[in-house]
Amino acid sequence: MKPPHCDRAGAAGAGAWGWGAVWWEGGGVPSFVYDALPGRIVFGAGAARTALAAEVERLGMSRLLLIASERDAGRGLTAPFAGRVAAVFTAVREHVPVATAEAAREAAAGADGVLCVGGGSAVGAAKAVALTTRLPILAVPTTYAGSEVTPVWGLSDGGVKTTGTDPAVLPRTVVYDPELTATLPPELATASALNALAHCVEAFWAPRRNPVSSAVAEEGVRALAAGLRDGDPAQLLLGAYLAGSAFAVAGSGLHHKLAHVLGGLGMPHARTHATLLPHVLAFNAPGSPEATARVARALGRDDVGRDDAVAGLHAVTAAAGIPRGLAELGLAEDRLDEVVERTLPAVPADNPVPVDAAALRRLVRAAWAGQAE
Ligand code: NAD
């Protein structure tokens, strides 16, 4: 009997969840493995002002390295425990160049913990420190990037980005405060929210997907769509947390493999994700009807048809003023072959639609031109 929501019609023995998951005869639940990640979440308006000192105390941090941009270091959040801040590192950079990681590690000498306040770039620098020092991280995100709930680190060097997974870089505590993300300029807020949306969408087909990560991802899409519609930082931040959590468990698939290569080429992180996402969803849609149905359901848009996830995503990105193609974001046409070559070996074997060089080239060109394949 074909399972009721098998993504790949006729896929022998493997259901929607991949890695040979088997369906319980007569039921709609696949076998699955779910590695829950540890971490304490404190969420609330004003939490960075009212709860941070107690969380520093709770982690027993007495000689902190504060990692934050000049702007975020200037928010005054450490005033209640200023005596515990031993050093401040403000030279955060997107995609954590190796030189940035080394400088942050030097600044961490003598520290017993890292407090990072900022977007994925500040969290990334904190992770680079934890990777070699094993110092605990307390994270206070100011964007919707979601890095604060993943054990994934990234470093870039000479146009190439390297990532890896290490439990030591997963922040012990995250303080989410929507008052902080409320200061994001509108275009950046939207791009960042769409970066979070990409985590949710990808979680439906990424290699370690399971019913728990998919449920979290669907709720994440719903919160992000509501937040984008209503301009509500609290909904967006909740969605970003759910998105990061789903992605951290499910892993990285075709979309992130492409974004990763583009990031190494210096493309802006959040806006690249936002532009790329509808194209990757369109590419994978024929092989993942359940994922697309869940995305469409969570987006819940009447204007483009409630069952059309790709049109729904295009409508969300268009309303946000996100470019339809990577060319508009500055990717030169003569880099497309390189993007294909670098991405192809990293694409998971169980991507919902088979990916060979020709198919990937079509996808990359369509995403570059901003047109349907
Ligand atoms: P970012 O941290 O570089 O921030 C983008 C810009 O917004 C910066 O200029 C920053 O100073 C500014 N900014 C941040 N918060 C602000 C606020 N509240 N108000 C006003 N301005 C603000 O960008 P990002 O998209 O958050 O993070 C991108 C980085 O994070 C990339 O290096 C990416 O690879 C990494 N990342 C890693 C993971 C992971 O799991 N490892 C996940 C997502 C992103």
The two structure tokens encoding residue 152:
């994934």
**11 Cα–ligand 1 center, Å:** 39
Q: What is the residue with the minimal CA distance to atom 38 of ligand 1?
A: 147
Where does residue 179 rank: exposed (0-12), middle (13-18), buried (19+ CB within 10 A)? middle
Where does residue 87 rank: exposed (0-12), middle (13-18), buried (19+ CB within 10 A)? middle
Task: Read off the pLDDT of each residue in 195-218 and give the average, rounded to a whole number.
Answer: 96
Measuring CA to CA, which residue among 156, 111, 149 is closest to residue 129? Answer: 111
Q: Is the pLDDT of residue 27 over 80?
A: no
CA angle 342, 274, 200 (to 5 degrees): 90
Measuring CA to CA, which residue among 121, 315, 176, 147 is closest to residue 243? Answer: 147
Residue among 96, 137, 142 to mutate when testing ligand 1 (max atoms within 8 A of CB): 142
What is the pLDDT at residue 29?
84
Task: Read off the pLDDT of each residue in 171-196 and give the average, rounded to a whole number.
Answer: 95
Q: Is the pLDDT of residue 255 over 90?
A: yes
* Listed range (3-12, 77-86, 91-100, 334-343) with the worst mean pLDDT: 3-12
Alpha helices by DSSP H, listed for the chain, are 47-50, 52-58, 70-73, 98-107, 120-133, 178-181, 186-203, 211-230, 233-250, 254-264, 269-284, 289-299, 309-319, 336-343, 357-369
- Tell me what percent of the residues of the chain surpass a pLDDT of 90: 81
Where does residue 323 rank: exposed (0-12), middle (13-18), buried (19+ CB within 10 A)? middle
Measuring CA to CA, which residue among 117, 126, 120 is closest to residue 81? Answer: 117
| pLDDT, averaged across the chain | 91
* Residues framing ligand 1 (Cβ under 6 A): 69, 71, 94-95, 118-122, 124, 142-143, 145-147, 150, 152, 154, 180-181, 183-184, 188, 192, 195, 263, 269-270
Q: Is the pLDDT of residue 17 over 90?
A: no
Q: What is the residue with the minimal CA distance to atom 20 of ligand 1?
A: 184
Residue 21's pLDDT band (boundaries 50, 70, 90)?
very low
Where does residue 110 rank: exposed (0-12), middle (13-18), buried (19+ CB within 10 A)? exposed
Residue among 96, 129, 143 to mutate when testing ligand 1 (max atoms within 8 A of CB): 143
The two structure tokens encoding residue 74:
């200037």
Domains of the chain, CATH where assigned: 40-181 (3.40.50.1970), 185-369 (1.20.1090.10)
pTM: 0.91
Q: Is the pLDDT of residue 125 over 50?
A: yes
Q: Which residues contact 263 (CB under 8 A, 6 or more apart)?
A: 94, 95, 154, 156, 161, 269, 272
Residue 307's pLDDT band (boundaries 50, 70, 90)?
confident
What is the pLDDT at residue 16?
40
What is the pLDDT at residue 4?
38
Phi, psi of 87 (to 5 degrees): -155, 155
Closest-lying ligand 1 atom to the alpha carbon of residue 188 = 7
Q: Is the pLDDT of residue 72 over 60?
A: yes
